[in-house]
Amino acid sequence: MNEQNIYIVRVGEVALKGMNKPYFEKTLVTRIRKNLSSIEGTTVSRHEGLIFVRTDKNIPADTIIRQVSRVFGVASISPAVECESDLDKIGETAVAFMLKQIEERGIKTFKVEAKRADKNFPVKSPDIARIIGAKVLIGCKVLKVDVHDPNCRLYVDLRDDRTYIFDEKIQGFGGLPLGTNGKGMVLLSGGIDSPVAAWMMAKRGMIIEAVHFHSYPYTSPRAQQKVEELAAIVAGYTGPMKIHIINLLPIQEQIVQNCPEEETTILVRRFMMRIAEKVAEKNRCMMLVTGEDLGQVASQTAEALVVTDACVTMPVMRPLIAMDKVDIMDMAKEIGTYDKSIEPYEDCCTVFLPKHPTTKPRLERIEESEAKLDVDALVDAAVRSEEIVRIDA
């Protein structure tokens, strides 16, 4: 059998799930396996609240860390070495590990942090740390102990018959495993906000589908391609995604011809929500998801959001609702969607924009305007125009 690299994967909130914990852990293991399925010679198993990934020695550590850390539910990952749970064996392994750190990183100081998960082991954690630290000092003459600000923290995790030694905990995104919290339909535009909203709901364990509206020929095919490319970035975290493409132009034209100009934005938004709800129901989604941020634009004032929600019965999730725009932009940069989002291709929301949109719409006035339109027929026609694009991770 080939030598293997070992990675310890720690769960986040999954550890707090009580009686449901095994279900969440099994789902997380399945997701990690799926993310690593293209890498031959890789196994994923769980034991005593941890998940262990084993790969062939020739697989670069960066590849495994990148793939695993993107799985929602993963709190951290550590490349590790293992040995028997015997103090002499642990000492030998720790010395070899630290000699490698001296060679590769030029470390000068260290601190040992020991954890004894096996309470039957006769030596307590502080004494394990002291004993292993002494062995490292003897075996690595250039090193000194620094308990306050060491170059290297040497972790010793002792479990039943095996002990794991590592020196870093690489943070994952945490959250909950995909598929543990239903399915939602996100209204996906080419802007900064909605891809972040989709990512945030997926982080809470929700499977995501998307509906995207276009106003061709007022919006270009390149604008739709941009949205598909944004979805592909998000799919790197969520797995394959369906986008339901809807032509909104006939509805916009009817609104412009028959309704007050200042109400155009809120009327269009209500139609988008109705259509999204129909598509969501057909695809067994539990709720709608939007990237709206309170007060950011005219259609996102408190009054406008209340009027918008009044046209649907499905719950509407707005994960960004109280965030500052700067924080949303920072999150977009972190997950990799920002540069694509700021590419200058207009979406349907920029078509027929009123000069002075109403910011405090009244529901009865909006419903009076909608009475001039055949709302049901327009919504049904839009749903029939649907095209489906499948996005792979």
Q: Cβ distance 74 to 6 under 8 Å? A: no
Q: Name the amino acid, one letter, at 318.
A: R
Label residue 160 left, alpha or beta by phi (over 0 means left) and psi (-120 to 50 means alpha): left
Helices (H) and strands (E) in the chain, counts: 13, 15
C-alpha 171, offset from chain centre? 13
Q: Is 352 annotated as a binding residue?
A: no
Q: Is 300 annotated as a binding residue?
A: yes
Q: Which residues pair with 47 in a beta bridge?
A: 50
Q: Name the amino acid, one letter, at 393.
A: A
Q: Name 192's Cβ contacts closer than 8 Å, sequence gap at least 6.
A: 291, 328, 329, 332, 337, 338, 341, 342
Give 271: exposed, middle or buried? Use CB within 10 Å, 0-12, 13-18, 19+: buried
Q: Is 230 annotated as a binding residue?
A: no
Q: Which residues pair with 83 in a beta bridge?
A: 163
CA distance 305 to 317: 12
Q: What is the CA radius of gyration of the chain?
A: 27
Q: How many residues does the chain have?
A: 393
Q: Is 213 annotated as a binding residue?
A: yes
Q: Is 154 annotated as a binding residue?
A: no
Neighbours of 238 (CB within 10 A): 22
Classify 37 as helix, strand or coil: coil
Backbone dihedral angles phi then psi of residue 131, each to the nearest 5 degrees: -65, -45
Q: Is 225 annotated as a binding residue?
A: no
Q: Is 187 annotated as a binding residue?
A: yes
Q: What angle do CA 37, 42, 47 make, to 5 degrees?
A: 110
Q: Cβ distance 130 to 147 under 8 Å? A: no
Q: Cβ distance 168 to 78 under 8 Å? A: yes
Copy the structure tokens of residue 275.
């259509």
Which segments are annotated as binding site for ATP? 187-188, 212-213, 269, 291, 300
Which segments are annotated as binding site? 187-188, 212-213, 269, 291, 300
